[in-house]
């Protein structure tokens, strides 16, 4: 009987997750309307999944980008934040088939003194309007916090 209870609990959790999410072009969409790109395998610290916002929050210096992510709201949900460098790398180079990211550097929350880590998407480090990248993702690097780069919020659920 105990084994059956565990199976029923697991089934209920899966049903709850599927109810809270939908599919969009083959991508799993989270409850806030962002694209699910990470599953840590189990619930801990109050969350299991990460979703990225369906669009950029804007561009700015590192401090401005942090604020853009904190102020971001989508799908009736707040609680968005800037991803750390590992999350950003997984997001950009994870082969998730997410909607295109713009050319340019994307900020992460990982900082080192007057610099912060970011990842250049495409061949041009400067944000270039709404043009989408070639898909070429560079290795993480340090950028001056005074540079103006893209911000793409993420959210835990």
Q: Give the domains, in start order, of the chain with CATH numbers.
A: 2-156 (3.10.100)
Torsion from C-alpha of 76, 49, 90, 33, nearest 10 degrees: -20
Is the separation of the CB atoms in 154 and 84 below 8 Å?
A: no
pLDDT at 6 over 90: no
- pLDDT (0 to 100) of residue 59: 96
Is the separation of the CB atoms in 145 and 111 below 8 Å?
A: yes
- pLDDT (0 to 100) of residue 121: 86
Strands (DSSP E) contained in the chain are 22-24, 27-29, 35-44, 47-52, 58-60, 104-112, 115-121, 141-144, 149-151, 154-156
Model confidence pLDDT, tens digit, residues 89-137: 998 876 666 666 888 999 999 999 999 999 998 777 766 555 555 567 8
Model confidence pLDDT, tens digit, residues 33-48: 999 989 999 999 999 9
- pLDDT (0 to 100) of residue 92: 86
């Amino acid at each position: 009987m105990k084994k059956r209870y565990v199976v029923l609990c697991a089934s209920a959790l899966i049903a709850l997750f599927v109810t809270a999410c939908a599919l969009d072009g083959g991508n799993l969409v989270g409850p806030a309307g962002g694209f699910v790109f990470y599953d840590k395998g189990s619930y801990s610290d109050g969350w299991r999944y990460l979703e990225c916002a369906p669009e950029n929050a804007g561009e700015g210096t590192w401090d401005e980008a942090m604020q853009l992510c904190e102020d971001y709201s989508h799908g009736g949900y707040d609680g968005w934040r800037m991803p750390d460098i590992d999350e950003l790398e997984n997001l950009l180079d994870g082969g998730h088939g997410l909607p295109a990211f713009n050319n340019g550097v994307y900020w992460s929350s990982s900082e080192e003194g007057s610099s912060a880590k970011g990842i250049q998407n495409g061949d041009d480090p400067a944000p270039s309007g709404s043009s989408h990248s070639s898909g070429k993702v560079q290795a993480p690097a340090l950028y001056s916090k005074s540079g103006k780069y893209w911000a793409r919020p993420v959210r835990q659920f």
